[in-house]
A and B are shown apart, each in its own frame.
Chain A
């Protein structure tokens, strides 16, 4: 009978070991998958119990906070719609969006990996999540918001030297404090207020010429060479017109960028060739996910393929001056501009400066790092001189400031149909030591110099004034 006992004991022990493997499967291997299951309401219930941390701008201005205790808790957004839809919302009924969604685990303090924190949590139940400090500056955000108010579009302001996002406005917007009460009304509004327009894709218009410049350098073309602009040109049977049929005459690269000469960039794009053009786009981050706290869809070259292997002559020519099928988000355009400003290096963008736990110990601090290096320092300098010329002598003049040299590029993107063009304006300043890079998009706003330039100008002026105040 001893053999029988031994074998049964072995069967039992093996079964228990097998059971432990099952436990390990759920608790260790599969824990995250289960948390993301739509039927899993854990996060919502945790939310009810944990006081969500606050969100601050870089100077401690409250952007979102939880008011009240227990069952009467509600989330308040003191600055109203100025920071929406970027900050987003967190509701039991409609789920969450924006930063409130992507940073939920941080704000609720449920992603702390430290053993010490775990042990602490074991013995205290009523908890406060972590506070998140953003890189945004509420004063600059206000300037951008006031400029864009009533229009549709986006403003993105970035510190080119470290990738800090200083302002990010999308219009139209909504007030998240009263979101639940007005949900249906908000949904019914024109131009999708819940959508962050800074992260949506638009044809870039002439701002694309900055990127095309990268292809020209890559192909080793001579930028001092003169080119005769006759108001239009025909490539492969396709007519490339200048805006309003304007004849620029003899231009070199600098003047072509300053006057925003379509024929120059179409011809030189063809000269550079599809491979150089696509490689330049890839270097600038087309077809890639941007490493950022929020999801930004990758910019794309064609409708079929964000970054195709090759490009036909017609599409290459029209893509080279920002038409064709190219689609870029205002956020990405701001990063490209910041890259030119920062000697050809695009810093990885940051929206979150630091995270503080409930006892105000800093548990995360962002570190500046390079995301892409699309241009050499000397090539970035060439583009910069063209953008300075655009402000001083060319199409970007409305963005000029009296005592600071601004470098900028306009864009008026055809959207098809008879609608007004999208007005683009990208700029950075001061040109010799850039402290701020801006991208402004006013959807169907007309020309970049008319609709978008004043907003960018105001933002740059405010940003430099705030910088002065700090020093």
Chain B
């Protein structure tokens, strides 16, 4: 009780210190402060709800995510106030979605019964996008509803995770030990591995066709890591390396904007006003932050970096809060990812275990790929930073995942209470 409230207090004080500093610099309208107030009330209400509901699950995940989200909101107010207003609404909606998913699910285990439905849903969503989608920044990944756009590939994350968790839960042993002997390596038969390969290839192919290469990379790594996690066979990790090189090379040859980005990655200073303008500006902003940052509201990157409120928001944070602030954000993401694994270890059943670990892998990989792109450690792929970048689809979907996690950890606490400890091993 005291713990959960004090965590909320830390989160809210970060929010209000940030908004206060921006207010002092005449960068925050009163309308935004009102939004902040509504948001704060919602956070407190959520924590009271958990109290009355006797929530028994993980106590750190949501507060950590809320802290990440609050940093993102403060920076959106600073970078793009009109979008910040919308983002507050998305944030409120996201938290409501979180509690709704948590309550409606009641028992997440039901989700594991529809594995092919999830797989098909993922494919369908991507197909619909490919046919009816609109193109933005080189990727055809948006469905427009009048003014508002929606990115179905965010929802695909949920569908794909559910498919993977249920499929792998059922076929774990077959995949692990294999039934077909090829030389000295035993491989699973095509009947077992077929659905996985089929869904995987089609999903990645469709994403490639939409030119959402960043998302394709995330899904690819998610599938490889989750496969390894379940089977514990290094073979699957090693086999993915040539795959990624080959597909990377194909993408490089097929897409012009991939070539530009790779060239910009190799030498951003060759054409800093053209093809590598984004990454050069990002690096200038980040390095301008130095150890302690320029101070909130004092940076240059907020105006200079294209997409400073979406893909490059981390560069603006790194500039204004410096190395220390950037490290704080990275640490918060590490906490979230590791809490997902902690939930996974404690989960009462195999499906829940794989699902929660999968969510952890997804969040970790997403954060790593976009952050590595912004800091020029990998070629750039436009991805939103979960809970930080501007965008409703990503916000709502990630809160859905968080709701599922809360559900898993809430239930596993009862499972653990009901089962004598010695027997627990057999359940997994």
Contacts and interface: CB of A to CB of B under 8 A. Distances in A.
A115 B293 CA distance: 11
A18 B372 CA distance: 9
Contacts of A37: 269, 272, 284
B357 interface: yes
Contacts of B372: 19, 22
Name, among A9, A35, A41, the residue most crowded by chain B CB atoms within 10 Å (CB to CB): A9
A370 interface: no
A3 B304 CA distance: 45
Given A31-B288, A45-B300, A39 B230 contact: no
Contacts of A31: 287-288, 290
B295 A23 contact: no
A69 to B, nearest CB: 15
What's the interface size class on B, roughly?
A: 35 or more
Interface string B330-367: 10011001100100110000100110010011001000
A37 B267 CA distance: 13
A1 B428 contact: yes
Contact of A28 (B25, B280, B303, B323): B323
B333 A9 contact: no
A123 B228 contact: no
B287 A30 contact: yes
A376 interface: no
A42 interface: yes
B300 A42 contact: yes
Contact of A1 (B232, B273, B294, B297): B232
B322 A27 contact: yes
**B-side interface mostly:** helix
Contacts of A3: 232
B284 A4 contact: no
Contacts of B300: 41-42, 45-46
B5 interface: no
Given A1-B232, A3-B232, A16-B333, A39 B272 contact: yes
B135 interface: no
B290 A27 contact: yes
B112 to A, nearest CB: 15
Interface in A1-44: 1-5, 7-9, 11-13, 15-16, 18-20, 22-24, 26-28, 30-31, 33-35, 37, 39-42
Nearest to B371: A19
28 contacts: A1-B353, A2-B345, A4-B229, A4-B231, A5-B344, A8-B361, A12-B364, A16-B330, A16-B364, A16-B368, A18-B377, A19-B368, A19-B372, A20-B327, A22-B372, A23-B286, A23-B318, A26-B283, A26-B286, A27-B318, A27-B323, A28-B290, A34-B284, A115-B292, A122-B21, A122-B294, A125-B297, A125-B298
Given A27-B286, A27-B287, 16 more contacts: A4-B230, A4-B232, A13-B338, A16-B368, A23-B286, A24-B323, A26-B283, A27-B290, A39-B269, A45-B303, A115-B292, A118-B295, A121-B298, A122-B294, A124-B25, A125-B298
Interface of A: 1-5, 7-9, 11-13, 15-16, 18-20, 22-24, 26-28, 30-31, 33-35, 37, 39-42, 45-46, 115, 118, 121-125
Interface of B: 21, 24-25, 225, 228-232, 269, 272-273, 280, 283-284, 286-298, 300, 303-304, 318, 322-323, 326-327, 330, 333-334, 337-338, 341, 344-345, 350, 353-354, 357, 360-361, 364, 368, 371-372, 375-377, 428
